[in-house]
Amino acid sequence: AAAEKGNYRHFMQKEIFEQPDSCGRTIGAYTNILRQTVELPGEGADAIDWSEIKHLYMIACGTAHYATRVAEYWFEQCAGLPVKTDIASEFRYREPALAKEGGLALFVSQSGETADTLAALRYCKEQGLKTAAVVNVPTSSIAREADLVLPTLAGPEIGVASTKAFTAQLAALAAVAISAGRAREQISRDAEIRLVRALTELPRLMSTTLQLDERIAELSRDMAKASDVIYLGRGVHYPIALEGALKLKEVSYIHAEGYASGELKHGPIALIDEETPVVFVAPFDGLFDKSLSNLQEVAARRGEVILISDAAGVRAAGETPASRIELPDCDPFIAPILYSLPIQLLAYHVAVEKGTDVDQPRNLAKSVTVE
Ligand code: G6P
């Protein structure tokens, strides 16, 4: 197995650095570059008439759940589709009220074997709902049982903490949201061209972003001393904050929480002191001003702010954040995919700094096939 790691110390590190390729492959499978359109791969991709769908349910566990939380914004914005996301273990026991007419249940899973997600899929089928699954393992139970399979082409993921599978899930879901938006006539042909172009630019932007590795390793030395870390984000970056906190917990064992920036005043601000790093995931988009005022509130309470943004965001924040990570400019549509990389690198380097078993963190399993 050591050989398969190539020049990397850990599978997690190798998989983080594979993302320009794994995302590029996934995007390639969902887009027609010449025509600048989305074309869903796989047999029966036309089985879903998006113009007939009235409710989309997205069900998953762990990191895959956070992919659905990002996609929720995309399906609402691009396709005007009412969405409900759920954790599979909650969904399956709740006897949820489902829209059987026009309801589509979409499951997201790297392994395709997560017990709760599989049980939720079977439940939806019994209820007569149409089902689709975004899966990384094409031979898995979830792939076999769903009506429609939407593959991610991340390749085998060995590190227990999911990285390249997550960004591949996001890339696939973004493409599906564009396709749904076109079918539902919620986005114009011009908008489709812009969004497809943004997706195809992603691998190159990911490569540039990965050059921040050294800088992030530097920042991780201080963070490794913290006992709590807070991650904040707004809009599509709120689920990225949740995923950032999950990644850090999983591999470094440091307690971390993700919150929507706007919730700061409703509790988490009480936790702020000099000892608590606060990571802001905030590109310079339409919500940046709001994030900046949250950031200033944290800094005013002597919180140690780490801003992850772009050139304009870093400039606007000035000297207020203690540290800054500056990503290349990108289309806001794909920003949550790009901003996943620095939070993965941060978790990885903090874990290395702490000397944990990065690829096999204590108590965790790659695939939870029992309840
Ligand atoms: C486990 C893994 C996570 C993963 C989750 C869901 O908890 O450690 O990395 O996100 O299961 O797995 P799935 O294979 O369904 O995506």
Ligand 1 contacts CB of residue 119 (under 6 A): no
Torsion, Cα of 202, 208, 214, 216 (10° steps): -40
3-state secondary structure of 230: strand
String of DSSP letters for 93-141: TS------SSEEEEEEESSS--HHHHHHHHHHHHTT-EEEEEES-TTSH
| CB burial of residue 65 (10 Å; 0-12, 13-18, 19+) | buried
Share of the chain above pLDDT 90, in %: 94
Ligand 1 contacts CB of residue 364 (under 6 A): yes
Residue type present at position 150: L
Residue whose CA is at the smallest distance from ligand 1 atom 5: 62
Residue whose CA is at the smallest distance from ligand 1 atom 15: 109
How far is the C-alpha of 183 from the C-alpha of 197, rounded, in Å? 19
Query: Tens digits of per-residue pLDDT, 191-242?
Result: 999 999 999 999 999 999 999 999 999 999 999 999 999 999 999 999 999 9
Ligand 1 contacts CB of residue 162 (under 6 A): yes
Residue whose CA is at the smallest distance from ligand 1 atom 8: 366
- Model pLDDT, residue 370: 85
Residue 174 to residues 77, 134, 258, 356, Cα–Cα distance (Å): 11, 12, 23, 34
Query: Tens digits of per-residue pLDDT, 114-152?
Result: 999 999 999 999 999 999 999 999 999 999 999 999 999
Ligand 1 centre to CA of 182 (Å) is 31
Residue 47 has pLDDT above 80, yes or no: no
Ligand 1 centre to CA of 160 (Å) is 8
Ligand 1 contacts CB of residue 89 (under 6 A): no
Ligand 1 centre to CA of 238 (Å) is 20
Average pLDDT in the chain: 95
From 5, 125, 290, 366, active-site residue = 366
Residue 2 has pLDDT above 80, yes or no: no
| Mean pLDDT, range 303-314, rounded to an integer | 97
Strand order from edge to edge, sheet including 323-327: 255-260, 228-233, 277-281, 304-310, 323-327
Query: Tens digits of per-residue pLDDT, 137-194?
Result: 999 999 999 999 999 999 999 999 999 999 999 999 999 999 999 999 999 999 999 9
Q: Is residue 366 annotated as a catalytic residue, yes or no?
A: yes
| Mean pLDDT, range 20-24, rounded to an integer | 98
Ligand 1 contacts CB of residue 316 (under 6 A): no
Pocket test for ligand 1, best of 15, 61, 134, 152 (most atoms within 8 A of CB): 61
Ligand 1 centre to CA of 174 (Å) is 20
- Model pLDDT, residue 3: 59
Taking phi over 0 as left and psi of -120 to 50 as alpha, with beta for the rest, 350 belongs to alpha
Ligand 1 centre to CA of 114 (Å) is 7
Ligand 1 contacts CB of residue 87 (under 6 A): no
How far is the C-alpha of 137 from the C-alpha of 132, rounded, in Å? 14
Report the relative pairing of strands 31-32 and 37-38 from DSSP bridges: antiparallel
Residue 56 · residue 84 · CB < 8 Å: yes
Kindly report the length of the chain: 371
Pocket test for ligand 1, best of 106, 110, 141, 164 (most atoms within 8 A of CB): 110
Ligand 1 contacts CB of residue 68 (under 6 A): no
Ligand 1 contacts CB of residue 278 (under 6 A): no
Of the candidates 254, 283, 280, the one whose C-alpha atom is nearest the C-alpha of residue 348 is: 254
